[in-house]
Amino acid sequence: MTVRVRFAPSPTGYLHLGSARTALYNWLWARQNGGSFVLRVEDTDQERSTQEAEAAIFDSMGWLGLDWDEGPNVGGDHGPYFQMQRLEIYREHVDTLIARDAAYRCYCTAEDLKKAREAHTAATGNDHGFRYPGTCRERADEPDREHVVRLKVPTEGSVGWKDLVKGEIEFGWETQQDAVLMRRNGVPLYNLGAVVDDLTMGITLIARGDDHVINTPQQIRMYEALGAPVPQMAHLPMILAPSGEKLSKRHAAVGVLDYQELGYVPDAVLNYLVRLGWSHGDQEIFTRDELVEKFDWEHVGHTGSKYDLKKFQHVQASHLRMLEPADVAALSQRWVTERGLSVAEDDPRLVAATELVMPRAGTFIEVAEAVDYFFRDTPEVDPKAAKKFLTAERAERLTALVTQLEAVEGWRRDGLEQHVMAWLQAEDIPLKEIAQPARVALTGRKASPGLFDVMEVLGRDRSLERLAAGADRARAAG
């Protein structure tokens, strides 16, 4: 059987991390099995659906590299799939369900339902557990009269399935009610739209959040009534906040594009998301190709996974360091520019500086911040660092260092280090006496990559100029 999976977001907001993980698991399964990954937009909530949200979903998936084979923006015989463009298809299937006595037209008004709820409350003492009482189940059919369409669920027995994640699940039909499938205006509700779409699109596996477990019995009822095989099911536990609550904006950045703005690597986001619910031994860091090769349903956990920012940052930093310095430099360019620095994309210093700072940087934003002093006419000096290291007694040492460096030819790291170390040894000067003041003069900071690496990237003129300025500042401090 050819694997066909789908991701079906509603365009009512940004793409949440939980939804992105659902898309990822489906995408991995399709790519691993040479199948199709279908994207459809469940836009039947017309009051809340927006084009901005739709664009945000497409942009998020594009940034993550979760390309789809069928769906919006894909040409050919399939798609684009928008539910509001498929209303006639839903009507046809509803008519079939009615003809097979698996659904019926309900003429109850809002007032009728209000009275039924009040009667339930009077009889039970509360309004919990109210279910539609089946008023119209056996009424004469009047298709021209205003109505909704309800599913006709059995009154006895049970329904169950073997879930790829949660195992055997069973519901008694007494727990179900005759839920509305189609509104009065002919627009389907979730259960009808999902079943008809999955059926007509040939979906073989439905992988979605476990909040949809409660919908599955009614969907199975429709598949069986339509004479169609029920797809495999995989219901994924939620991503939780560190406290165990549902993850929300107050706990973390929860929109995919938030992480793009934070300077994350797309593959790092995928790596972290896949591990929020799936494991492969003790391995934590995966390339995209490794995920496609190794993903399975057997090792998807049964319970929710807690978001852990420190682990996320570790995964992100690991992926950043897997990239080539030239790629990191190019991807950091945006944030370099946002810092007010004018650096040409082909400036060789950008790649060289990026390579130096990558071991300590976690994001593209941190890369941009770390290379900042390489591209300013004068570095922004940390006042505390200057107060501690650019002191009067160090002024002459910095001046002497400038004199020594002026004699160095070639201006390469190794030559700089050899010359300076020989001078320090001859003068019996400890390296720490010159290294930290020189570092602050060159970078404005207490911490930086290796001193001689920094000098090489800065170049002769800029290095000598900054060291001399540092000596002047030190003298003035006296």
DSSP, residue by residue, 281-325: TT-----HHHHHHH--STTB-SS-EE--HHHHHHHHHHHHHHS-H
Q: What's the rounded Cα separation, in Å, for the pair 199 and 6?
A: 12
Residue 1 CB burial class (10 angstroms; 0-12, 13-18, ≥19): exposed
| Residue 208 to residues 20, 79, 90, 249, 372, Cα–Cα distance (Å) | 11, 21, 21, 21, 44
- Which of 354 and 478 is assigned the larger pLDDT? 354
We find that the CATH architecture of domain 4-84+239-309 is: 3-Layer(aba) Sandwich (3.40)
For residues 39 and 72, give the distance between their C-alpha atoms in angstroms, rounded to a whole number: 7
Q: Is the pLDDT of residue 129 over 80?
A: no
Extents of the domains making up the chain: 4-84+239-309, 86-236, 323-374, 383-477
The per-residue pLDDT for range 269-289, each reduced to its tens digit, is 999 999 999 999 999 999 999
Residue 18 has pLDDT above 70, yes or no: yes
Instruction: Inform me whether the pLDDT recorded for 20 exceeds 90.
Output: yes
- Average the pLDDT over 411-427 and give the result: 95
What band does 77 get if pLDDT is binned at 50, 70 and 90? low
pLDDT exceeds 80 at position 456: yes
Given a cut of 80, whether residue 163 has pLDDT beyond it is: yes
Task: Assign 3-state DSSP to the chain and report helix, strand, coil percentages, each to 5.
Answer: 50, 10, 40
- C-alpha span between 38 and 225 (Å, rounded): 25
Query: Fold identical between 4-84+239-309 and 86-236?
Result: yes
CB 256 within 8 A of CB 63: yes
Taking the alpha carbons at both ends of the chain, their separation in whole angstroms is 82
Mean pLDDT of the chain: 94
pLDDT at 400: 95
Of 137, 132, 135, 146, nearest in space to 101 by CA: 137
In CATH, what number does 383-477 get?
1.10.10.350
Using alpha carbons only, give the angle 23, 25, 30 rounded to the nearest 5 degrees.
Answer: 95
pLDDT at 249: 87
pLDDT at 121 over 80: no
Q: What is the band of 117 on the pLDDT scale with cuts at 50, 70, 90? A: confident
Q: What confidence score (pLDDT) does residue 80 get? A: 76
| pLDDT on residue 324 | 97
Q: Which CATH number fits domain 86-236: 3.90.980.10, 2.40.30.10, 3.40.50.620, 3.40.50.720?
A: 3.40.50.620
Q: 221 pLDDT band (50/70/90 cuts)?
A: very high
| Lowest mean pLDDT segment, chosen from 26-35, 247-256, 346-355 | 247-256
Give residues with Cβ within 8 angstroms of 204, minimum separation 6: 1, 2, 3, 4, 5, 35, 231, 232
The pLDDT confidence band at residue 355, using thresholds 50, 70 and 90, is very high
Between the alpha carbon of residue 218 and those of residues 14, 51, 115, 121, 204, the distances in Å are 29, 31, 26, 26, 18
Please check whether residue 182 is in contact with residue 94, taking contact to mean a CB–CB distance below 8 angstroms: yes
Task: Say yes or no to pLDDT of 97 above 70.
Answer: yes
CA–CA dist 195, 203 (Å, integer): 10
Catalytic residue numbers read 249
Say which residue, 412 or 72, is predicted with more confidence: 412
- Mean pLDDT throughout 139-145? 89
Give me the CATH code for the 323-374 domain, please: 1.10.8
Reported confidence tier of residue 78, pLDDT bands at 50, 70, 90: low
